[in-house]
Structure 1
Amino acid sequence: MKKITPLILKAVLLLSLPFSFSLGLHSCKTDDMVEDTIELGPPVETEPAETDYQPAFVGQTRAPGVTSSTGFTATAISSALQRPWGVTSLPDGRLLITEKGGTLRIATASGDLSEPIDGLPAVDAAGQGGLLGLCLDPDFSSNRTIYWVFSEPSASGNLTAVGKGVLSENEESIEQASVIYRATPAFAGDLHFGGRIVFDRSGNLLVSTGERSALATRPQAQDVTSALGKIVRITKDGQPAPGNPAFAQGNARPELYAIGHRNPQGLAIHPETGDLWQSEHGPRGGDELNLVQGGRNYGWPTITYGIEYGGAAIGDAIQQLDGMEQPVYYWDPVVSPSGMTFYSHSHHAEWRNNLFIASLSGQHIVRLVIREDKVVGEERLLAGENQRFRDVTQGTDGALYAVTDQGRLYRIY
């Protein structure tokens, strides 16, 4: 089998790939040299694009298709959840799941569900709002603390908020619940809350917020005095995290980490590099995968690879502009990327460091093979299930667990 280096890979991706062939490549992993081989085929997307926009670089969209070579099984272990939105793995192998209407549940690896866990603040569950993403404190085993994102009702409408509380010993309630952060200004709408939350390696929280969709609020994604359309970085108490970037514009909010986002519903930390990766919903076309760096502007709504739902151009129909970051990857037509996770377990060696993204309108789970911060292969998993996949996480057992809007919990192993 011919060995192809990453440099030659860039040339290979210039081809239209009408057939499948083998690709051997080396990727650096700390001080070791790791060799792997993947089979590349035609792109998995076969539908025409919504636009005639050209990518900024080769491989930015419609990467070669790949297929998992080792077998796995995918089983719906429960169908009794009520609009689940976020799922994370507990240290003992069980799963903690948010339901959009405002409840938490615990699920076993075989799909048994707890009764609803109460004690959370009220949510506004209209439209895309509700109880959204969640994560565990790094010291959860000793302090039992969890964090969650939700759409909080307010006198001015609603807003994306972050809650914090302690899971009771009997696992029936959340104790000491408090709201530690609010992404103001509030707005009377029911769309684009963002809603994911993860810990970075320094022990601070990264939270995604949406720009609330309306034409009136859309420009706030570029406004550093607003928390809409941002990635914010805060402490466990909701204060601006130390070391946050300073944005050049005056009166910038100190919690801001990155700006220019539309409706970011996926956040994941790379297990080896610690880098922050993010997915966000585009309009009609232009769903994005971003490698997020502090202090950067990711462009919305000034630059985009999408168009309005009615077909009109967005703004000046610009896709590239100095001072604004390009997505690592984009989808056109959209797949509606939501929650995502990197795979780091040894059970599926070929999946190691691959990114898995729950896809709503696409009704599948995206698997992306990433080399040198570029997508070199894409696979669609569970495409025959006809489910809107909302979130996916890795379990302690090496399985992937995914939840769907229709209430299913899948185990992929």
Structure 2
Amino acid sequence: MRHLFAKRKTQWLKLLAAGALAAPGFVLAQAAPEPAARATVKVETLLSELDHPWSLAFLPASQGALITQRSGQLLLWRGGQSGPTPVTGVPEVWVNGQAGLWDVRLSPDFAKNHRVYLSFAQRDSQGQPHAQLGYGTLSADAGHLTDFKTIFVQTPPLQSGINLGGRLAFDTAGNILMSLGDNNQRIEAQNLRSLNGKIIRLTAEGGIPADNPFVGRQDARPEIWSYGQRNPQGLAFNPWNGQLWETEHGPRGGDEINIIQAGKNYGWPLATYGIDYSGSPIPEAKGTQMNGAQDPLYYWRVSPAISGMAFYHSVRFPQWQNSLFIAALKEKSLIVLKVKDGKVSGEQRLLSDFGQRIREVQVGPDGYLYLLTDEKAGKLLKLSPP
């Protein structure tokens, strides 16, 4: 492993800010430029008074959408301005910091099996909390989940309610991928015997796909698809080339977009563009890059605190074609990246003056953007070009 590392903290911070902490011979990852002028957008508030909403999944045939609240409720929203109603049959969750009820995704075969997948944190019989994944069958009136089955329980137990991940995505083979944060145990992201700081890949029933990269290795967990992640907050497949993209919430600086490949190491905490919240270097960090690790496609030196993301692949608004929309929590904005040939070619901000943390963004079946704001009185927003 080759690296540059400043002898004193002040020198290290200067090098980090200047982008100099890269090993000789490495090609630097693409850094976010200063955003272009703030763009305008038409905003309609559809729901208010949501309790820290986290995720949104649209039901087929204009039946509405399912919304998770981190405090443990799954809601059915029928559209328009009408209030949501609770869906019963949801597992009890452990609510602590970022822990609770997270993502909701429909089975790729939803038309046949009516399965709804949820990621969440829950205590075991000994009172220990774990990140979990399961599914239930949605009733015909969409008001109840029946026969909820947990298909994955992360071990070892969670040590805190921070850096938990929790995003879900289905690949074209029907396997489900789930992001797991490092749980503030940084070096565990590099430990292949641990599931902290990983993206895992399971079958729809929770089994291990035979082509997972570490199947058959005694020194690695077979669920692992990729590793070296800190807090993966968004997963989405690029509709133009089929690649899995991930948004990763960095520490103080170093938010990243990564293209996730089977078996690859994404560096955390040995390679990072971020520093600790105290202003000191990450103790384990050797620089911004390292041999054997994948560079981010794109990164921010100052963290917007990125979260969910959605590629725009609708014909409704041509001006949004070839865009990637990313929710930002600390910055309280919606980041718009132009994507061309698998690269980022420009950046703008929307809703910079809205004043709420944005957790989730999805493209609705009608081609409009739908956002959830992560607040005690959170909102569901509908966006369109002005």
**Normalising to structure 1: TM-score of the pair?**
0.83
Deviation at residue 310 of structure 1 after TM alignment: 0.6
Conservation of the 8 A alpha-carbon contact between 2:310 and 2:324: yes
Mapping for residues 32-51 of structure 1, pairs under 5 Å: 51=17
Conservation of the 8 A alpha-carbon contact between 1:365 and 1:383: yes
Of residues 106-115 and 230-239 in structure 1, the stretch that sits farther from structure 2 once superposed is 106-115
Q: Could you report, residue by residue, the CA deviation over 1:265-303 in whole angstroms, capped at 9, with x for unpaired residues? A: 100011122110000111110011101111100001111
Corresponding residue to 1:401 among 361, 366, 370: 370
Q: 3-state SS of the aligned residue for 2:188?
A: helix
* 1:141 corresponds to: 111
For the pair 1:386 / 2:355, whether they are aligned, the reply is yes
* 1:274 corresponds to: 242
Corresponding residue to 1:365 among 300, 310, 334: 334
Equivalent residue letter for 1:164: Y
Cα gap change, 1:400/1:355 in structure 2, threshold over 3 Å: closer, same or farther? same
Of residues 339-348 and 244-253 in structure 1, the stretch that sits farther from structure 2 once superposed is 244-253
2:271, 2:346 → 1: CA distance? 25
1:89, 1:352 → 2: CA distance? 20
* 2:3 corresponds to: none
Q: 3-state SS of the aligned residue for 1:221?
A: helix
Q: Could you report, residue by residue, the CA deviation over 1:102-149 in whole angstroms, capped at 9, with x for unpaired residues? A: 111122342423321121111111100000012101121232111111
Equivalent residue letter for 1:123: V
Q: Could you report, residue by residue, the CA deviation over 1:56-102 in whole angstroms, capped at 9, with x for unpaired residues? A: 65671123645698x75221111121110011221134221101011
Identity %: 37
Mapping for residues 220-369 of structure 1, pairs under 5 Å: 220-246=188-214, 250-314=218-282, 315-369=284-338
Deviation at residue 410 of structure 1 after TM alignment: 0.4
Corresponding residue to 2:131 among 160, 174, 188: 160
Q: Could you report, residue by residue, the CA deviation over 1:144-189 in whole angstroms, capped at 9, with x for unpaired residues? A: 1111110121336312110111111222221110110112111331
Deviation at residue 223 of structure 1 after TM alignment: 0.9
Conservation of the 8 A alpha-carbon contact between 1:286 and 1:331: yes
Corresponding residue to 1:188 among 138, 159, 167: 159
Deviation at residue 228 of structure 1 after TM alignment: 1.1
Q: 3-state SS of the aligned residue for 2:344?
A: strand
Q: 3-state SS of the aligned residue for 2:111?
A: helix
* 1:101 corresponds to: 71
**Structure 2 gap ranges (5+):** 1-13
1:236, 1:76 → 2: CA distance? 35
Of residues 321-330 and 235-244 in structure 1, the stretch that sits farther from structure 2 once superposed is 235-244
Equivalent residue letter for 1:307: I
Deviation at residue 236 of structure 1 after TM alignment: 0.6
Mapping for residues 19-168 of structure 1, pairs under 5 Å: 51-54=17-20, 57=27, 60-63=30-33, 65-66=35-36, 72-93=41-62, 94-154=64-124, 155=126, 157-168=128-139
Equivalent residue letter for 2:289: Q
Conservation of the 8 A alpha-carbon contact between 1:156 and 1:186: no
Conservation of the 8 A alpha-carbon contact between 1:74 and 1:410: yes
* 1:7 corresponds to: none
Q: Could you report, residue by residue, the CA deviation over 1:33-58 in whole angstroms, capped at 9, with x for unpaired residues? A: xxxxxxxxxxxxxxx99834347656
2:96, 2:276 → 1: CA distance? 23
Conservation of the 8 A alpha-carbon contact between 2:38 and 2:349: no
Q: 3-state SS of the aligned residue for 1:196?
A: strand
Deviation at residue 249 of structure 1 after TM alignment: 6.7
Corresponding residue to 2:346 among 377, 390, 406: 377
Of residues 297-306 and 270-279 in structure 1, the stretch that sits farther from structure 2 once superposed is 270-279
2:38, 2:320 → 1: CA distance? 8
Deviation at residue 350 of structure 1 after TM alignment: 2.7
Deviation at residue 210 of structure 1 after TM alignment: 0.6
2:76, 2:302 → 1: CA distance? 35
2:27, 2:354 → 1: CA distance? 33
Cα gap change, 1:400/1:129 in structure 2, threshold over 3 Å: closer, same or farther? same
Cα gap change, 1:129/1:295 in structure 2, threshold over 3 Å: closer, same or farther? same
* 1:208 corresponds to: 179
Conservation of the 8 A alpha-carbon contact between 1:75 and 1:410: yes
1:90, 1:345 → 2: CA distance? 17
* 2:10 corresponds to: none
Conservation of the 8 A alpha-carbon contact between 1:89 and 1:394: no
Cα gap change, 1:351/1:310 in structure 2, threshold over 3 Å: closer, same or farther? same
**Normalising to structure 2: TM-score of the pair?**
0.88
1:249, 1:236 → 2: CA distance? 22
Equivalent residue letter for 1:173: H
Q: Could you report, residue by residue, the CA deviation over 1:176-221 in whole angstroms, capped at 9, with x for unpaired residues? A: 10110112111331111101001111111011001101xxx22111
Equivalent residue letter for 2:183: R
Cα gap change, 1:67/1:344 in structure 2, threshold over 3 Å: closer, same or farther? farther
